[in-house]
Amino acid sequence: MPVCAAPPFAGELAVSCDERWRAHDLLRLRHLAAFDGEPAWVRDAFERAPYAVVRRALVAEGIVAIGVRGTERSQRYGTWAASTDIVEAVAPEALVRSVPPAGRAALPAFAALAVLQRDARGVLNNMVWGPTGSAGFELATQTAAVTQSSDLDLLIRTPEQLSRDCAADLLNHLQALARETGIRIDAQLETPAGGVALAEWAAGKARVMARHASGPRLLADPWSAAHRTAS
């Protein structure tokens, strides 16, 4: 997040994450706490759509790290919510069969998603996955967020190791679809060690970047038992 509020707890209390809320889940909130330095656009954005996305950060008990998005690409704000203010959580995979609001389906990101939704024999068929980013936000909130140039961001749950060959096949499939629709498709694997870019794992790199609540880590195997910690 380009801007982030100071945490409302002492640093030594930031020791865990509430496993009920996972990175990229969208949370509907009854209240958004205000912190010093909050950008001017945040209140209007929250009134327009009272949702925030769970971000990766260690927190104190009863607190969730969240991100608020505005109408512009540059409007992203990292802040904090009390778990008691959460009304509903929507995971990306809960949106995999959702349809966009009327008149929005022709936007490239939604057109690409529709191809994946219809592809019953595709590489994603036996995986748990769903849209994140602007497409996920619009599907969950029914509030316009996708533009003509928006990427399609995907989250793929991989609790067990995904072979490099399977990752390469999946990446090639998504890249072909991206070329057809004229947009970028960015897929992230959710591993026991955190979020790993599909493109990095498919490339066969000796170590890949795993985005974890405690910070990014370079790992040879994000599925290793040694890294099975809350992300």
Angle between helices 133-141 and 108-118 (to 10 degrees): 80
Instruction: For residue 153, indicate whether it is catalytic.
Output: yes
What pLDDT sits at residue 230?
47
**37 and 107 assigned to the same domain:** no
**26 and 97 assigned to the same domain:** no
Task: State the number of CA atoms in the 13 A half-sphere of 86 facing the CB.
Answer: 21
The pTM is what? 0.93
Of 18, 25, 85, 153, catalytic: 153
**86 and 100 assigned to the same domain:** no
What pLDDT sits at residue 225?
61
Question: Are 228 and 193 a contacting pair, CB within 8 Å?
Answer: yes
CA angle centred on 138, ends 135 and 143, rounded to 5°: 155
Q: What span, in angstroms and rounded, lies between the C-alpha atoms of 210 and 59?
A: 19
**196 and 113 assigned to the same domain:** yes
**155 and 213 assigned to the same domain:** yes
**187 and 97 assigned to the same domain:** yes
57: how many CB neighbours lie within 10 A of its CB?
22
Could you tell me the end-to-end alpha-carbon distance of the chain, in angstroms, rounded to an integer?
17
What pLDDT sits at residue 17?
77
**45 and 96 assigned to the same domain:** no
Per-residue model confidence as pLDDT tens digits over 153-202: 999 999 999 999 999 999 999 999 999 999 999 999 999 999 999 999 99
**73 and 126 assigned to the same domain:** no
Of 60, 90, 120, at which residue does a domain stop? Answer: 90
164 membership: H or E segment, kind and range: helix 164-181
207: how many CB neighbours lie within 10 A of its CB?
12
Residue numbers of the domain that contains 79: 3-90
Task: State the number of CA atoms in the 13 A half-sphere of 103 facing the CB.
Answer: 2
Spans in the chain with pLDDT lower than 70: 1-2, 120, 225-231
Q: What span, in angstroms and rounded, lies between the C-alpha atoms of 185 and 174?
A: 7
**222 and 110 assigned to the same domain:** yes
Q: What span, in angstroms and rounded, lies between the C-alpha atoms of 90 and 204?
A: 33
The partner residues of 81 in beta bridges, in order of sequence, read 64
Instruction: For residue 221, indicate whether it is catalytic.
Output: no
**147 and 175 assigned to the same domain:** yes
Of 151, 165, 186, 221, catalytic: 151
**215 and 128 assigned to the same domain:** yes
Number of domains the chain contains: 2
Of 90, 118, 134, at which residue does a domain stop? Answer: 90
What pLDDT sits at residue 114?
96
Of 44, 70, 90, at which residue does a domain stop? Answer: 90
**181 and 210 assigned to the same domain:** yes
